[in-house]
Structure 1
Amino acid sequence: MTYQVSVLLLSLLLLTGWACAEDFSECSNAEVDTFVMVIDDCASYIYCNGEDSFRDMCPEQTYFDAQAKECAFDDEGVCLRKATQAADVPVAAASAEGEGETESEDTLTEGIEGDNSAEEEAENVVTPAAPLPSTVPRPHCDPANDSFHPHPQRLICQLALMALALVMGSNGVTAVNICSGVADNLFLPQVNNCSAYNLCIGETAIPRVCPTSYYFDAAEQECLVAEEVKCLPTCPTRGLSSFDYSRTCNKYVLCFGGSSVIRQCSDGLQYNRNTDRCDYPQYVDCLSNLCTKYDDPEEIVYLASKAACDKYFVCLNGFPTVQTCSNGLQYNPKTNLCDFPSNVNCTVETLQRNILPYAKAPPRSADITCPAKGTHFIAHQKRSDAYYYCQDGRGVTLDCTPGLVYDSKTEDCREPQFVHA
């Protein structure tokens, strides 16, 4: 099986390298594995690396600095001024044609220099806005563009991504799609790399990197100066613990002996930071995966609470803001209004529980022999509501939330009706 998978992966990658590759004249005299500027677009750059070359765009309010070979903040309006000049010249020329005469180059230059609004606006730019998805076509499997502009290579690119996902899970762990179940245009952090982040489009992660000296802040959905950013935690070198994977609600990072692995809850379950495991949504009530930074007054996002019938949320500045109905009324998701209970049919059941988180209890050693290498999740030999977590030969026993059982196919705890479905 491993041999077949390797042959399939090699074939797909060779095929995609032939089908998805694109030639850039800017790379003809450039060194391999380097960045070069785009002549007609100061905010874009080209990565030159043979068949893996691609064109992309710097984050908003930055431009590509050809000397430093990085995206730099446009505090002096270098790129913005060029864009304004480029946009103004054709308009002025067209106006001159309409009057039957041609203005001299000096006249156009004076007109441009007389308009300082772009320069004044650029001088006020201090910090970068939230990163935006690139609008420049990329030659390699860009779901942001492929979804709307299909091309013959799309299927091949999808197969390559599937093959890469298979490799990611080849160490014994099913690969997790970090962008599944989150809103489009939401930015997610990368584990163990605070300067990198992912843009989610169509439940597909597109890697991005902050400019030099800036880190990505998942809460603010921005690249900020390092001193102001709260990065994802790092796993402690000893013990068993976990922390939530920001802005996803159903994903978390499980830590054991300094190693980290991203885990995902199934079937609408959510990660409960108080118990270190997947739990029923009424005990968590997380909705931050559905609120993006961009508010639209004409399309206000209302979200029903998972924990209380009379509570709901409104997305505001990227965060779900809690609201409560008047006494005796319940939130109706069909009308986005507080309504009489007879029109809502809402029931939420919660029980008093005492679940000790992993971090507050000594790890229980697995009573099996774990594989010597890699990360593995294995069903418990005697209990359906427990499983083994093995990391490079060492293993611990983990419990499911009461009411859930372990599913070997998805390698997580689920409600019993979904396990044998």
Structure 2
Amino acid sequence: MDAWPSPALPAVPGHGVAPLVYDSASDALVAAEPAGETATLYVCGITPYDATHLGHAATYLAFDTLQRVWRDAGYAVRYAQNITDVDDPLLERAARDGVDWQALAAAEIDGFRSDMAALGIIPPDAYVAVTERIEPTAVAVAELLANGLAYRATADDASDDSDGFDVYFDTTAAADVSPWRLGQESRLTPDEMLPIFAERGGDPTRVGKRNELDPLLWRAARPGEPSWDSPVGRGRPGWHIECAVIALNELGETVTVLGGGSDLLFPHHEFSAANASALTGEPAARVYAHSGMVAYRGEKMSKSLGNLVKVSELRAAGVDPRALRLALLAHHYRDDWEWTDASLPTALERLRRWRAAPSAPGEYAALAELREALHHDLDTPAALAVVDAAVEAGGLSPELRSGIHLLLGIEL
């Protein structure tokens, strides 16, 4: 599937270094650097049943910043992102609205592309819909079954054209033969996991499971649901195995950074990493990084709650996308924060001051400070403060302007 056009990435004098990024698994800042010359990044994509909101934009901007810092450090970057274009929320929204689920997905994917391009987000090199990877995902499930790392559970409500079984990942067996351990990424105990698992698509009370926390790998075909023929019967993939297979196919055994919103830390990233490690015998990632949640009117901004501030609506109202970037960059990517009526005016005023700043003599101190701020866990609020100080001190040098363009994505 095509992504969106890439923004201009200017040359900047000198170079930065690989950033220190907070790793959820180790609870520490670690160097987000590849084993070789190419940094690899996998970020979980959207389930396309509603428009892009500022919570989405904040997540993709966080990992856009990581890409920019990597490129400034001289690394090549290969980035993959999925689209979960067949899943229960999409099917439920399509049924609610009386529309075809594929048409709904296509429309929302087009809107997402448009929003990402407007915001200047560097696109993935591999932008992959789950429906484009049904066969390799099913093959991976068959491999896990053959290796004793998955098992079948009777699906009493399955369609007559299926084999009548769902397939589950055996977390206990996988922990015995792979580097993965339950809780390694989330650092949660099983008792802490259970209610979260139930809230986020899991089925802990499902009859026939060996462990309450075992996640679904393959859902046997049900009446009225989309399904595909496969080596493990007619059906469709589970949520976590999709990302594991796409990451492995596009980026190799161990990605440099596996990223997404903090709401994906458990169960999605925990079990995607488990599935990948069970298939390869290697760690899924060197760093597991997560962005915070954006709230609005007192609650996390989410499609399910409907309390969305949509990028497309702000753009339609004439808001400069650079101001939206600045509004989001004003918060550290790992922080939870709330969008308020003051967020946009504050960003618009900052953009006005930066654009009105006179040219200053060439010097590298401010550019070095900008790089240092971003080196330390992508600290964009500190980076904005560097630019604010330079503006107050008399203006922006050509070197700093090019750094602002490359590292913050703001062309002045």
TM-score, length of structure 2 as denominator length: 0.21
Question: Which protein has the larger Cα radius of gyration, Structure 1 or Structure 2?
Answer: 1
Normalized per residue, the structure richer in helix is 2
The one of the two structures with greater contact order (alpha-carbon pairs below 8 A, sep at least 6) is 2
Higher strand share: 1
TM-score in terms of structure 1 length: 0.21
